[in-house]
Amino acid sequence: MVRQQPLTLATPVIPSAYNNLDTVLKQIRSGLDNGVQQSFQNVDTIHYLRLVLLEAQPPDESGNSYPAKFVLGTDYDGDEDAQLTALATTCGDFIDKLYENCEGYPDAANRNPATRKAYLEKWRVKASAFFAGAPGRTLVQIRKENELREYILNLIRNGKWGSQSAKEIHAAIKTDVLSKTEFQWARESVKLPKENWLGMALLGLILLVLLPFIIIWILVIHFLYERKDKALGLTSSQIDGAHIRKLEEYEDFHNQNQFTQLLIMKPGQIRLITLMGLMLFAKSLVKNLFVKGKLMGIPTIHFARWLLMDDQKRMLFFSNFDGSWQQYLGDFIDKSGWGLTGIWSNTVNFPPTRFLFTGGAYDEEHFLAWSRYYQIPTAVWYCAYPNLSIKNVMNNTYIRNELMLNTTEAEAQRFLNRF
């Protein structure tokens, strides 16, 4: 099974080149919007690509200032070395156009796949946690399985099935598909990931052993930290209208949407250790339990990642999801508000939290306002299959596997119900 992984590169921008990079990003975005083929679209391992320009930030309350940075992120198939090689070779001109505005990029005379790759490798930021909604499915597989579904759907709609049973219809479809050269790959069924209940049992045992320590830790956080925390205290109507309009420029054009958030960590090792512990817990759940298209019961997330940057003082969150922004965060609140609260309460101005996992996100009005306030514009966002939901991706694999079965009547009817 091929692994899906996140690549994140965060690179300082040359101050005098900031406006030029912003212009380049707008040109790329306009090109995508108008159907102009971009070189990264020729890399058949990239599911999503995101380009973000972070403005320089003056000193905050803790005296921390941050230079302008350019962030490139992909969700891809395979290993990181191959992904970097593809960006440095297939996408050479694209990479040059972006990174010549960044500090230390090779001059024009010294740019080649090797020097590009070496430069990109310097700026990698490792994700603290990463979720893939349809683990193991490559981009090529997703596209092929969707083509298969569309072909079978056309057969069903245009066929004259009369009084044939579901089993007979399934058999006829199978015979037709296997007669086509372009669908011979469908003969091989796909092994789907399963929950690792042994791993979950081990996680439960570890948590049970650590429970007394965890309780003490939560009490310390509440009485020594949470009661002193300052909240943003704004409602959605109080968020700057220009900021909201800027975010909405890149929303609801397809069935999918993107979400980019830049957060400032609360000071102190206690908060950092708490976040890292929760990230470790999240990674265990993603690896062992959330392998069938749902994260905490939410069936709309294709990919999500959390990562710490700037000496662990700031956190970036990327998400690619189905539906609207409001629906997405609403699902999170309803189904995993405690998880949202546990993680994001370690960043500044989060709604008041009690005992790490209560309050916070459950204060929906202030949480949604806080989310918008710290959401930042995504300069360029690309999805290789913008009209497929995570449910579609999962369903298409089930269709592929069930097509090859010698079905019972009930199994054949289940197969036909997938269309």
Q: What is the pLDDT of residue 102?
A: 98
Architecture of domain 4-125: 2-Layer Sandwich (3.30)
Q: Which of 50-54, 85-89, 311-315, 326-330 has the lowest mean pLDDT?
A: 326-330
The 10s digit of each residue's pLDDT in 82-97 is 999 999 999 999 999 9
Could you give the CA distance from residue 345 to residue 161 in angstroms, rounded to a whole number?
Answer: 58
Q: List, for residues 231-287, the tens digit of each pLDDT value.
A: 999 999 999 999 999 999 888 888 899 999 999 999 999 999 999 999 999 999 999
For the chain, domain boundaries: 4-125, 197-383
Q: Are 4 and 355 in contact (CB under 8 A)?
A: no
The upper half-sphere exposure of residue 309, i.e. CA atoms within 13 Å in the direction of its Cβ, equals 27
CA distances from 249 to 139, 242, 254, 388 (A): 27, 11, 12, 21
If you average pLDDT over every residue of the chain, what do you get? 95
The predicted structure's pLDDT at residue 58: 87
Mean pLDDT, residues 127-146: 96
Q: Tell me: the pLDDT tens digits for 357-382? A: 999 999 999 999 999 999 999 999 99
Whose tokens are 């392998």? That residue is: 291
Cβ-in-10-Å burial (0-12, 13-18, 19+) of 377 comes to middle
Residue 104: CB atoms within 10 A of its CB come to: 11
Q: What percentage of residues in the chain have a pLDDT greater than 90?
A: 92
Residue 62: pLDDT over 90? no
Output the pLDDT for position 250: 87
pLDDT score at 253: 85
Model pLDDT for residues 184-222, shown as the tens digit of each residue: 999 999 999 999 999 999 999 999 999 999 999 999 999
Give SS3 for 305.
strand
Q: Indicate whether 48 pLDDT > 90.
A: yes
Q: What is the per-residue burial (b if ≥16 Cβ within 10 Å, else e) of 341-368?
A: bbbbbbbbbbbbbeebbbbbbbbeebbb
Rounded distance between C-alpha atoms, residue 285 and residue 166, angstroms: 38
CA-based angle 135:141:146, to the nearest 5?
110
User: Is pLDDT of 331 > 80?
Assistant: yes
